[in-house]
Structure 1
Amino acid sequence: MLNIHENLSQKLQIAPGSLYRSLVRWAELQPAASCLVEVESGRTLTYRQMLVAVNAMRLFLGDVPQTLVLSLPGGMINAVIWISALSGGHRLVPISPTASEHEKRRVVDTYQPDVLFVEQREDACHFSLLETTVIVTLHTCEALIDPVASSIVGCSLMQREGHVCLTTSGTTGEPKGVVLRERQLAWTAEQVRRSHGLTTQDRGLTVLPFFHVNAPVVSLCSSILAGSAVVIARHFSRSQFWSWVERYQVTWASLVPTIVAMLLSTEQPDFLPGTLRFVRTGSAPLPASDLRAFEARFGIPVIETYGLSEAASQVVANPVPPGKHKAGSAGLPVGVQLRICVPRQNGEDALTDVIPGEIGEICIAGPAVITAYQNNAGQDSFQHGWFRSGDLGYLDADGYLFITGRLREVINRGGENIAPREIEEVLLQHPAVQEAAVVGRPDPLYGEQVVAYIVVREEWNEGVKQSLLAHARRYLSAYKVPIDFMSLDALPRNATGKVERKLLQDRERQS
């Protein structure tokens, strides 16, 4: 097991400013090498131009630390803002542009942003902003970082460590704030670089959003540390994916299991394997059958990983060829200490390892792992320097982690972690709802879909159902809206009055 607390050579990798210093270094060593490529526009920023763009954004934002809410669609501007915020001492709060008005107002109430990045100025009206908030549009950002028009010199600016604020469902299924410093993000990015063997010759494709931790850390930050290029797509496209790989000479791609399943319905391109040496998956368990089918059809290794927002993304990863990757396994611990413990019972907080090979709760510790949620929520997840993930699994004789399920109530829909409590609170605001419990329904494409069990105050009919659906769509992002509403006379409860969510989950699995 890696002793991360005593390994001095790796400790040096988490000094504040690692990301910006790497950008400066590669801008000096290979100024004309590609850093960012945007597939829809075909635009490229070289390392020299990327440094100029980051410096221009930092000078625009100023030296005083500010709170930045990032609500832009995918694209290279997101990458510039992430690195600018993390190196300029700012607090970055990413949020999906398609988030509901309710979610956007909550972000404003919680963080009171100084700057809001939106695609068009009218998009800001959904945020109920403070009078002092500066609105910056995508057009303004594009003009600011234009390498032709910019007069900014590509020299090194003073480093101020910034941080990012994310929302996760945590181990209990309730939304919780995760604050990650630049050094934590850089630590995990360095582990990605090492585990995937990234070099200056690599070109990584990401089709994932920048309002989650995966794309910024796994694709962007690891590539900057490696001096390689990031090919950024605003959205995944099943019809264009393979043409992107060929056109931009992609050597690896970061995906989620749902995308792997979608690609299985495409024809094998003639150019494969070409430059593509592997694809990696994260955010949700990948069915072993899909891994084998993908490798058999396309001849490309699939590297499964396991990550957590609480650890700045990647925690465990399968080795890339010629190393051994195992179907059904999330891989080996990378940059963390990991143990399998007896799950918590009745509030018991003792950390006791299970017998080797037995299933237990996955617990981790390391430089990138947070020690608390915002406002000290969910403190029972942090015990004696270890984070209890709420996920269940076991280690085989070779030390590979196999994930078998989870204790936590979170619903994983296509890699999107959804907190049941958040949806339940929205449903309970509807006048017809007396009680609500939300669980996941197994789905062959997305892994799970959201289903709501409710007790109504009046007669259940199609009109009430449609009213609930409209209510949910008003207050929730589209992927959080239940696909089905099930009416019950009463929710199942245990002796202490707590909802027996497991009974509802079992009902969904058996249906």
Structure 2
Amino acid sequence: MTQTLSALLAAANPEAPAIGAPDRPWLTYAGLAAQSTVTRAALHGAGVGRGDRVAIVLPNGPEMASAFVCIAQGAVTAPLNPAYKLDEFDFYLSDLKAKAIVLPASYDGPALEAAEKHGLVVLRLDFASTDPAGSFTLTAEGTTAASADTAMPDADDIALILHTSGTTSRPKIVPLLQRNVAASALHIQQSLALEAGDRCLNMMPLFHIHGLIAAVSASLAAGASVWCAPGFDAVRFFGWLDTARPSWYTAVPTMHQTILQRAPRNADIIARAPLRFLRSSSASLPAQVMLELAATFNAPVIEAYGMTEAAHQMASNPLPPRAQKPGAVGIAAGPQLRIAHEVENHLLDSGIGEVVISGPNVTPGYEGNPDANAKSFFMAEGLRWFRTGDQGSLDDEGYLTLTGRLKEIINRGGEKISPLEVDGVLMDHPAVQQVVTFAMPHDKLGEEVAAAVVLRDGQTADEAAIRAFAATRLAAFKVPRRIVILPEIPKGATGKLQRIGLAQKLGLA
């Protein structure tokens, strides 16, 4: 199996298109290889080499995609959300122990202030809009010393460092080795049967594992092409679909739901789109949305299950002729996948428990956090297993159904309630377009069930009507005590709905 990012790209046709973008010529695989060579030279000239950590703060687009791929062939990449505030950049640059930072040529924001405070080498990325998508130059500010270690990274070197979301605690550092990233890219390429003729339309943020691995790295592993939009924009999506002519796109469920809202007025574009499949990941896709997407685009919807610690993909619904089961996140797709006891370190043969994985794509462990590693990894049946923090069960055909994040399960006076179960019922209400069920504090029960709902265009329903509908399908203790109807549900930086902290955001705490 390929062990490094550079080896991953070696077999591609040099003249084939690799990276594209709106109104830009294509960057070929030969062009990407040349870009990698000049990028490594620029890094080395700035005193940055193998093992040094480079924060990348760039807007979404082809330069961010190629910067990740090229820098990872000479140093350690650490993409950061460009929308962070000064305090956040200050924390992450310090926590990462970054040596350098890549910033746009004209950038003068908080990332620069934080970088200067920490004495980082500042590398300015510039490009011309007439150049192939993903072509760029890197120029160091000031005087820098050349790097002593110009060797190419090997399989056990770190390729990518990301942080966990840190919704309930200090974010944890997740180092992903070259072999982790390469293995995951190949797992996705194999599970989606990607070939050189495939093209992915990427709208996912490229500071996030979903876009970096599923869209960019898996496409390049197949010798295929990836067309990089400047981010998600539902208004521009169908124009991009017509221009890029992708064979697939990957998105989070909230993006798919927004696309569906605009689909009826874009039926002509959908009819001529050459989509082989659609992919959804990073959060559970409601069964109703999977079915509506498949019917609207006349293509199978491949829901996958991923997380940062697994270099993204762990399970995936298979392509036809095997079934795509609505409500399930698929079968093991790369690593081994089992159910474990939620407290004790052993595997279960059946029933509901914590989802655990073992495989070549799994991080060797959190950096500098022995307590988290002791809680998250254990040995069983001769393998090292990672606890995902998700609760679920496997059916007789090996399809995984998630009950929810263990820390998001609602504990109402000792009764455990799955938010995903309540989501699924409320989504069946004809007026409901989107829902997220969450815990709100209760003085006697500890937690009570609440839900935020977005209604379909032109539909009306009030809280009482939706609660009454839920009461016909759910036990009384599972029916949300409060339902808040909103024009839009607050989302995280990657477009995911966030249950934890929602009660406070909505004034229900």
Asked whether the two chains share a fold, i.e. TM above 0.5, the reply is: yes
Moved more, 192-201 or 273-282: 273-282
**What does the per-residue CA deviation read over 1:169-204, in whole Å, with 9 as the maximum and x for residues that have no partner?**
479754211000111011011000000000001001
Aligned: 1:42 with 2:42: no
- Cα distance, 1:144–1:207 mapped onto 2, change above 3 Å: closer
Task: Determine the structure 1 residue equivalent to 2:363.
Answer: 370
CA, structure 1 residues 366+442, in 2 after alignment: closer, same or farther (shift >3 Å)? farther
Q: Unaligned 5+ residue runs, structure 1?
A: 1-11, 151-156, 413-419, 421-436, 447-475, 489-506
3-state SS in 2 of match to 1:219 = helix
Query: Map of 1:283-362 to 2, 5 A cutoff?
Result: 283-344=282-343, 349-353=344-348, 355-356=349-350, 358-362=351-355
Q: Is the 8 A contact 2:200 2:248 kept in 1?
A: yes
Distance in 2, matches of 1:235 and 1:20, equals: 26
Query: Could you say which residue in structure 2 is the equivalent of 1:393?
Result: 392
The aligned residue for residue 267 of structure 2 is 269
Match of 2:120 among 133, 139, 142: 133
Q: 1:439 to 1:67 in 2, by over 3 A?
A: farther
2:164 to 168, 171, 196: 168
Q: Residue 59 of structure 2 corresponds to which residue in structure 1?
A: 73
Does the aligned pair in 2 maintain the 1:173–1:410 contact within 8 Å?
no
Paired letter, 1:109:
S
Q: In the alignment, which residue of structure 1 is the partner of 2:212? A: 216
Structure 2-normalised TM-score? 0.72
Aligned length: 409
SS in 2 for 1:373: coil
Counterpart position of 2:86: 101
Aligned partner of 1:84 among 62, 67, 70: 70
What secondary structure, in the 3-state scheme, does the structure 2 residue paired with 1:87 have?
coil
| Kept in 1: contact 2:338–2:347 (CA 8 A) | no
Show structure 2 runs of 5+ residues with no match: 138-149, 411-418, 420-437, 439-445, 456-491
Letter of the structure 1 residue corresponding to residue 365 of structure 2: A
Task: Tell whether the 8 Å contact from 1:35 to 1:229 is kept in structure 2 after alignment.
Answer: yes
Instruction: Check conservation: 1:164, 1:181, Cα contact below 8 A.
Output: yes
Structure 2 CA distance for partners of 1:182 and 1:147, relative to 1, 3 Å: closer
Amino acid at match of 2:41: L
Q: TM-score, normalised by structure 1?
A: 0.72
Q: Distance in 1 between matches of 2:449 and 2:57?
A: 28
Answer whether contact 2:64 2:206 (CA < 8 A) is retained.
yes
Pick the aligned partner of 1:113 from 65, 81, 98: 98
Shift of 1:92: 1.5
Q: Which amino acid aligns with 1:79?
A: A
Partner SS, residue 361 of structure 1: strand
Report the RMSD for the aligned CA atoms in angstroms: 3.5
Aligned mates of 1:373, 1:188 — CA distance in 2: 18
Which residue is 1:405 aligned to?
A: 404
Aligned partner of 1:259: which letter? M
Which residue of structure 2 lines up, in the alignment, with residue 450 of structure 1?
Answer: none
C-alpha displacement at 1:25, in angstroms?
2.8
2:175 match: 179
Counterparts in 2 of 1:399 and 1:483: CA distance versus 1, 3 Å: closer
Moved more, 165-174 or 177-186: 165-174
SS in 2 for 1:297: helix
1:381 aligns with 2:376: yes
Distance across 2 between alignment mates of 1:410 and 1:172? 14
Q: Which amino acid aligns with 1:335?
A: G
Alignment partners' CA distance in 1, 2:345 and 2:61: 45
Residue 486 of structure 2 aligns with which residue?
Answer: none
Deviation at 1:22, TM superposition (A): 3.5
Matched residue type, 2:177: R
Per-residue CA shift, 1:325-358, capped at 9, x if unaligned?
11111000011111112211xxxx33141x52x2
Tell me how far apart the structure 2 counterparts of residues 49 and 439 of structure 1 sit (CA, whole Å).
Answer: 56
User: 1:196 corresponds to which residue?
Assistant: 192
Task: Give the secondary structure class of the aligned counterpart of 1:239.
Answer: helix
State the distance in 1 between where 2:505 and 2:212 align.
Answer: 38
**Equivalent residue runs for 1:347-496 within 5 Å:** 349-353=344-348, 355-356=349-350, 358-376=351-369, 377-378=371-372, 379-384=374-379, 385-409=384-408, 442-444=451-453, 485=504
Task: Considering Cα pairs closer than 8 Å and 6+ residues apart, tell me whether 1 or 2 has the greater RCO.
Answer: 1
* Structure 2 CA distance for aligned equivalents of residues 95 and 410 of structure 1: 30
What is the CA distance between 1:142 and its match in structure 2? 8.0
